[in-house]
Structure 1
Amino acid sequence: MTISISPPTFEHHRENLGIGERSPRISWRFTSEGDTKNWTQESYEIEIARASNARSETFRVGSDESVLVPWPTAPLGSRERARVRVRATGNKDETTEWSEFVEVEAGLQRDEWVAQVITAENKISTSGSLQPVLFRKAFQVSKKVATARLYITSYGVYEATINGVRVGDHVLAPGWTSYKYRLQYQTHDVTRLLKDGENVIGIEVGEGWYCGRLGFEGGRRFIYGDQLAALAQLEIVFEDDEKLIVGSDESWKNSTGPIVSSELYDGEVYDCSAEVKGWASSEFRDSEWKPVQVLEFPKATLLAPQAPPIRKIETLRPKKIWKSRSDKVIVDFGQNLVGGVRFRTTGPKGQKIVLTHTEVLEHGEVATRPLRDAKAIDTIVLSGESIEWEPKFTFHGFQYVQVDGWPSESGTPSFEDIEAVVIHTDMEQTGWFECSEPMVNQLYRNIHWGMRGNFVGIPTDCPQRDERLGWTGDIQIFSPTANFLYETSGMLWSWLQDLSVEQIEEFNGVVPQVVPNVIEARLNKAQAVWGDVSVITPWDFFLNFGDMSILESQFLSMKAWWNSIPKQENGLWDDTMHQLGDWLDPAAPAASPADGRTDPHFIANAYLVHITKLIGRIAGILGEPNERQNFEKMSVTLESLFQDTYITPAGRLAPDTMTSLSLALEFDLFRNQEEKEKARARLARLSSASRFRIGTGFVGTPMVLPALTSGGDNNYKQIAYRMLLEKRCPSWLYPITMGATTMWERWDSMLPNGDINPGSMTSFNHYALGSVGKWLFGCVGGVDFTKPNAQDSNSIKEVGWRKIKFAPMPGGPITKAKTSHLGPYGLISCEWELDVEKGVFKMVIVVPPNSTGIAELPGKSKSEVIEVGSGRWVFEYDDYKETAKWPPKAILDPFAQYEGEEEKERLGR
């Protein structure tokens, strides 16, 4: 058999221990081991062996579905384990081998928690933060252990040990959710950590997001509570089936350790002399430790995580270590990353090593101004003994670290002494891209690294300054790119549930600008683009992962947002409402990032029409005919109002900007095809007149290149490529000329002379402008999913990469590209190469089993579309014809005739 099947997965989990679902849906991917073409599944078998039953059950289902198929038997009981494997039979009566067995285990129900929430007397550090707390409990094990599970969460962030051995490898657990409503707990298999006789469970809890300072302009402390606490339930099953539960309660003790303070924004202070050696071992005596206090059990829903945990993913060695002109020791790790520094050293007692983390240098020195009120400093006080140290309850966004007080004659660490530890949510990577242009490859890497640094528990805006918040507008525009690069489903679904509960319970349907919300209520007025995440991001999720349940889950949130939008009598947005608009348009003043060129109410109303259409479409998919009819009717009215308000009789837009044109084209807001083509021509003209430098902020950036290239056979793709490849500021490649290794918040976060932008918001790791990634993967790389044309069952069945569009659009000097995506059905790839002089084009695509592909061949005199089944397909021809050679006259520099920068600036450069 040439088709193999992957081990099954459950729901959107990457890890299956202690899941919250009792009847988890099952998925599997396929791999073709040869050039097997046109293979489709006709039936599948699922074998389920329950730990509680010696006999396994096998279920055979006649179906071509292989993603999120129903659990075929009785639900799992609480704590119940089952081993599951699958195999499939194809259209030629060929049956795959059985997959490997995968174990899945259900978590706890709320009423099965017997443990209590324990806390300690607060100890306040000099900065006003709470000092992390150590909790400890000794217990006896006198029989042979069969299995042991630790169910644990905290008010704060925790790290647990049993007998001095760390439990699991999670970082900053339990992660950040809307703690008032949803608190995650983790399940760990700790069977191997137990021993005969006395055992000890230890838990250290730091502030994290629960108690720590959050937000800009000084932020606020104790948003969710002002006490560090732990909730832990260790359940041991012995070989004779007897059970022992060791739960957190009043019998536990507490103390403090060497971490004096550990704050997300300000960093960690660690005093080596205060280490409590062996505190989590059975040999330690805790007679001087204090008793704990018991708190009320959480009112929030206790839930098993949907997303993978935050983990240490990799380590990076320094690229360079040197002393600056001011005699400061600086370490360059060569990559803007998120995590912390790990080092090994020995030094005199009392000597302080101070690590200052920054993303960039400004004229050779670490640049701390962009951090605003975040210190991002770790301080380690040595004890005279050797130490290996890294921060435990904080993280930093940095490429450079200034090291003060290093205990060596030169004051400089060696390359072997120090390394950077990269952390982020441990999602599976699913997207890859490369092409013949090195700077475009670097752009892809910058997008990739920017996403990694901002997916730490939730999708954040930036990872370094006094913010790091789940801004809704940022992920709304970036989610299509994110979903291609990584398996984001578990993380985004969990975050969307936080969004909906806060929106409905706290803001009367208005979507808060950050989720979880920690900013003042006065800032959380209804805001277009940002609030529209409640509709658009679940739709993106559905298109990428093929799970209609997300639409069902979030439909109430969508309608609540639509109903909360302040409207005029005619139904359009209230034009007295302040809007953020095309945030960080490059023409906006540094101090006023909302003051872009595009009327913010134009943007708001374009989005309103778009989401109204979308909600109607979703209602149809969900089988809600009345809702569908209502929203479709409203969308027709709103679209007509929009056209009357913003489109002139001659078909011109008011306002006339890159963002307005791109938005109206991508949201299909024009009256007819003639108006669309006029708009596309106008967009091309504006792009050329700008000398191909970008003129869009957050809203327009993901749409400008697709708007130029989505008209089918047109001459504007070269304009798009010319904009992509522009190196002057503002452009996608300008930051790369300045050494960027992640996406910047502003097009000009650093000015050409090396000065940092004077604006207060100047992050060097912000993924929003990396939303161009979707166009890179689909237009340059040639891999995109097909979108449903209607609500009919056949069309809906094609979502989630079941039907794949291969339509590369070669342009500019790029002569080859390769893009891959690990979709729900298997690995998808497209690799093409073009010899422009000879007119030879070759494209090789791979369609995974149980899927189909649509190949749109570029460069032919008449576009050819070929539908293929699974397999490896090669298309090659020697009559490739371009509609516009590179560089065509239409994109020659309109200012080339002028010499001298002053004259070019005067003419509107």
Structure 2
Amino acid sequence: MTVTWTASMVTPAVDLTAPMFRRTVDLDTGHGAVAQALLHVSSLGVHEVLVGGVPAGPDVLSPGWSSYEWRLRYRTHDVTALLHDRTEITATVGNGWFRGRLGFQGGRALYGDRLGLVAQLEITFEDGHRQVVGTDESWEAGPSDTLADDLYDGQTIDARRRETYANVGVESQFYPVRRLPFDTSTLAPYVGPPVVRHEVLRPQRVWASPSGRTLVDFGQNLVGWVRFTARGPRGSEVRVRHAEVLEDGELGVRPLRDAQATDRFILSGGDDFFEPTLTFHGFRYVEVSGPLDPAALEAVVVHSDLRRTGTFACSDPELEQLHRNVVWGLRGNFLDVPTDCPQRNERLGWTGDLAVFAPSAAYLYDVESFLADWLVDLAIEQRHADDKVPFCVPDVLKKVPPPPGMPEPDTAAIWGDAAVWVPWALYQAYGDPAVLERQWDSMAGHVRRVEALSSANDLWDGGFQFGDWLDPDAPPDQPWNAKADPAVVATACRYRSARMLADAAVALGRDDAEFRGIAERTRAAFNAAYVGADGTVHSDCTTVYTLAIVFGLLDPDTEALAGKRLADLVAASGHRISTGFAGTPYICEALARTGHVDDAYGLLMQRACPSWLYAVTMGATTVWERWDSMLPDGSINPGEMTSFNHYALGAVADWMHRTVAGIAPLEPGYGRVLVAPRPGGGLTWAASTLETRHGTVSVRWELTDGDLDVDVTLPPGVTGVVSLPDGTEREL
């Protein structure tokens, strides 16, 4: 809905930590009952709003993180049932992404140093009378029960402060507010869903570490916080420190870098309930000190409100666990912004991670509106940077100098290609071309900028590139130093984006000549510069063959030769992973497409490091950033980048859905479905379901005495093709 804003952005007249804003609303009299009451609210910082002491809605950490310079989202709550003749509205505002620490370079208050609240209550009575109450100087602000709050470092709550709110004698602790200069035209409604609480996990194990510390294991690497009720001496403190893993029997906090990830709770002497909702942590384990029964802890899972749409199951428990790890990795990192990791001093919306993971995400959950919201910010940031797609969205890197060794950011392959690949993935998954129309200028702007950055010979062979980031053979401190020539990777990506944009033009009824031409020139240049007559691709490693095959850069005869070389390289590696961010999402498809399904399964089912299942054998419950984030002896990788919850390498789930289970779209949105399971890897059965816009598609196959039975269910009105490994096809 459209809001005509009369409210002002207000801030406390004195600087406060996590201020509580408040205003008492007296209903206008003589107009009958309240027919509807809507509260529109946003903040500079993250807020919690109570109406008559009751939460205005289920959301937490609102208004989330957007490109604040140009777009600050607001949420609308129907509070009709919460209003009385006299009602107090309170809003506590924490630092959040706006004023807290942000990024791995120690930045703080990158968007502003004053917290603010803008709220507008619109009341409609039975007789049509309207009463509007907005934030202005009639509001006041005082200290909340939060003494400190930060997304990285945690929250400190003092229960003793709660006693003052009902004590008339301390009214002087509330201060006037003043208006902040603020352009209300930047206020925009959410496109995506709110962040909400999901399930609650209880401790699976409580024990004393070798040093005598109390540790708690919740059994799952998750994102959220711990809540509890405690009773202890007044002024005593309960401390909860979070981490994803253990090392030498103690909490493994080194991967957090300098993020403290510690919540502190000061007791009042009575029964105190604590829930630190102005922060969040990525953790499986906590270390607890103070007067508290650790068995009483609850871990609250928090992420954007997404609906599960895709499932996968099979006869191998460890492969099933890998898929669960991908799901939990998505959940932990789809907290308002699709982030790289949820635990250390980073948690940024890296574009490259999402570029490769979007198809998997769009199968597992309905992420159409969630990613559409993020794409709005991508386009805004890009438009204000001469069509340069930033490495992160929202782009905080532009606010700080680049770290040592990294040049000034410019368009980079895969990371920049998110502008094209993510909208295309949404179109393929949900079938609505509106996303292509909305993102058209962004998509076209990226392809044109890449063309301008490329050489005269149509190769993208200059400038900074991440390349095949985190190639397992790269030096640990040089994750960009991969086997694959970055120019080969970048030029392949240039072709893929141009081709996708040409196809998007056709879907929208636009002229595709410009982008079809770029794609054709790039393909010819790639083959002339990088492909030998014998099918070898320059730098002769698994990633370059993978991209050349999957992106469609080779003619059929050359593709067959490249596929054979790829299979040979994979076999020579002992079917261990030799690809990084660029090649890993696509290598199984490249092998299967060129007739080497057994080698694809050899990679998928490998347990030795580096492999997908190695982490599973080490007890992982999410996908890791590095193949060896934990070493075989149980010690943590000594590198600076060691996240245990990073979804990018989990993009193999897309191949598991399409090829292991066998569900893929024959047209955008699954109005027509390809059912093409390719058994292998010792699996005796696999199954998947997908809730599409047309209804539920399900496939289950089973091998019995060498016979393959495939059971398919399609929704009414949906057609498909069953393709079997022996070449048999049947129309459904």
1:783 to 2:663 alignment: yes
Contact 1:306 1:490 in 2 (8 A): yes
1:620 to 2:506 alignment: yes
Question: What's the offset of the Cα at 1:613?
Answer: 1.8
Match of 2:466 in 1: 580
Alignment of 1:572-651 (within 5 A): 572-575=459-462, 577-625=463-511, 628-651=512-535
1:656 to 2:540 alignment: yes
C-alpha distance in structure 1 between counterparts of 2:270 and 2:88, whole Å: 26
Match of 2:227 in 1: 342
C-alpha distance in structure 1 between counterparts of 2:447 and 2:38, whole Å: 44
C-alpha distance in structure 2 between counterparts of 1:165 and 1:608, whole Å: 52
Question: What's the offset of the Cα at 1:488?
Answer: 0.3
Pick from 157, 179, 185: which aligns with 1:294?
179
Question: What's the offset of the Cα at 1:521?
Answer: 6.4
Alignment of 1:860-899 (within 5 A): 860=726, 863-868=727-732
Pick from 292, 304, 313: which aligns with 1:425?
304
Match of 1:703 in 2: 586
Question: What's the offset of the Cα at 1:278?
Answer: 4.8
Contact 1:529 1:607 in 2 (8 A): yes
Question: What's the offset of the Cα at 1:561?
Answer: 1.4
Match of 2:670 in 1: 801
C-alpha distance in structure 2 between counterparts of 1:589 and 1:357, whole Å: 29
Identity %: 43
Deviations 1:743-802 (A, max 9, x none): 00000000101111111000000000000000111111111111xxxxxxxxxxx31111
Alignment of 1:733-812 (within 5 A): 733-786=613-666, 798-812=667-681
What is the aligned residue count? 720
Match of 2:352 in 1: 473
Match of 1:314 in 2: 199
Contact 2:534 2:561 in 1 (8 A): no
1:205 to 2:93 alignment: yes
Alignment of 1:420-569 (within 5 A): 420-505=299-384, 507-519=385-397, 520=400, 522=402, 523-565=408-450, 566-569=453-456
1:834 to 2:703 alignment: yes
Structure 2 stretches lacking a partner, 5+ long: 403-407
Question: What's the offset of the Cα at 1:380?
Answer: 1.0
Q: What's the TM-score once normalised by structure 2's chain length?
A: 0.96
Contact 2:137 2:179 in 1 (8 A): yes
> Relative to structure 1, is the Cα distance of residues 820 and 122 closer, same or farther in structure 2, using a 3 angstrom cutoff?
farther
Contact 2:461 2:490 in 1 (8 A): no
Contact 1:170 1:309 in 2 (8 A): yes
Match of 1:233 in 2: 120
Q: Structure 1 counterpart of 2:57, which letter? A: G
1:267 to 2:154 alignment: yes
C-alpha distance in structure 2 between counterparts of 1:325 and 1:318, whole Å: 19
- The SS at the match of 2:307 is coil
Match of 1:375 in 2: 260
C-alpha distance in structure 1 between counterparts of 2:333 and 2:546, whole Å: 27
Pick from 19, 24, 30: which aligns with 1:138?
24
Q: What's the TM-score once normalised by structure 1's chain length?
A: 0.78
Match of 1:163 in 2: 52
> Relative to structure 1, is the Cα distance of residues 673 and 392 closer, same or farther in structure 2, using a 3 angstrom cutoff?
same
C-alpha distance in structure 2 between counterparts of 1:229 and 1:315, whole Å: 31
Q: Structure 1 counterpart of 2:728, which letter? A: E
Question: What's the offset of the Cα at 1:634?
Answer: 2.3
Match of 1:814 in 2: 683
C-alpha distance in structure 2 between counterparts of 1:298 and 1:261, whole Å: 28
Comparing 263-272 with 291-300, which one deviates more in the overlay?
291-300
Question: What's the offset of the Cα at 1:857?
Answer: 2.5
- The SS at the match of 1:800 is helix
Give the root-mean-square deviation of aligned CA atoms: 1.5
Question: What's the offset of the Cα at 1:622?
Answer: 2.2
Deviations 1:580-604 (A, max 9, x none): 1011010111111111111111100
C-alpha distance in structure 2 between counterparts of 1:770 and 1:691, whole Å: 21
Contact 1:481 1:774 in 2 (8 A): yes
Alignment of 1:47-196 (within 5 A): 107-109=1-3, 112-121=4-13, 123=15, 131-141=17-27, 142=29, 143-196=32-85
Q: Structure 2 counterpart of 1:635, which letter? A: A
Question: What's the offset of the Cα at 1:574?
Answer: 4.0
C-alpha distance in structure 2 between counterparts of 1:176 and 1:285, whole Å: 35
Pick from 566, 570, 586: which aligns with 1:683?
566
- The SS at the match of 1:780 is helix
Match of 1:726 in 2: 606
> Relative to structure 1, is the Cα distance of residues 448 and 620 closer, same or farther in structure 2, using a 3 angstrom cutoff?
same
Match of 2:405 in 1: none
- The SS at the match of 2:612 is coil
- The SS at the match of 1:119 is strand
Question: What's the offset of the Cα at 1:571?
Answer: 2.5
More helix by share: 2
Deviations 1:221-242 (A, max 9, x none): 1222111111111111122221
Question: What's the offset of the Cα at 1:855?
Answer: 1.1
- The SS at the match of 2:389 is coil
C-alpha distance in structure 2 between counterparts of 1:385 and 1:669, whole Å: 69
Question: What's the offset of the Cα at 1:285?
Answer: 8.2
- The SS at the match of 2:218 is strand
Comparing 159-168 with 608-617, which one deviates more in the overlay?
608-617
Contact 1:115 1:247 in 2 (8 A): yes
Question: What's the offset of the Cα at 1:207?
Answer: 0.8
Question: What's the offset of the Cα at 1:674?
Answer: 1.5
Contact 2:216 2:294 in 1 (8 A): no
- The SS at the match of 1:424 is strand
- The SS at the match of 1:778 is helix
C-alpha distance in structure 2 between counterparts of 1:300 and 1:772, whole Å: 42
Match of 1:41 in 2: none
Question: What's the offset of the Cα at 1:569?
Answer: 2.0
1:667 to 2:534 alignment: no
Contact 2:615 2:627 in 1 (8 A): yes
Q: Structure 2 counterpart of 1:249, which letter? A: D
Q: Structure 2 counterpart of 1:182, which letter? A: R
Question: What's the offset of the Cα at 1:373?
Answer: 1.7
Structure label with greater radius of gyration: 1
Deviations 1:196-215 (A, max 9, x none): 3x211111111111111100
Question: What's the offset of the Cα at 1:428?
Answer: 0.7
Structure 1 stretches lacking a partner, 5+ long: 1-106, 124-129, 787-797, 869-909
> Relative to structure 1, is the Cα distance of residues 240 and 277 closer, same or farther in structure 2, using a 3 angstrom cutoff?
farther
- The SS at the match of 2:421 is helix
> Relative to structure 1, is the Cα distance of residues 236 and 275 closer, same or farther in structure 2, using a 3 angstrom cutoff?
same
Match of 2:711 in 1: 844
> Relative to structure 1, is the Cα distance of residues 321 and 690 closer, same or farther in structure 2, using a 3 angstrom cutoff?
same
Pick from 189, 199, 209: which aligns with 1:304?
189
Question: What's the offset of the Cα at 1:121?
Answer: 3.6
Comparing 528-537 with 469-478, which one deviates more in the overlay?
528-537
C-alpha distance in structure 2 between counterparts of 1:620 and 1:784, whole Å: 21
Q: Structure 2 counterpart of 1:661, which letter? A: Y
C-alpha distance in structure 1 between counterparts of 2:118 and 2:192, whole Å: 20
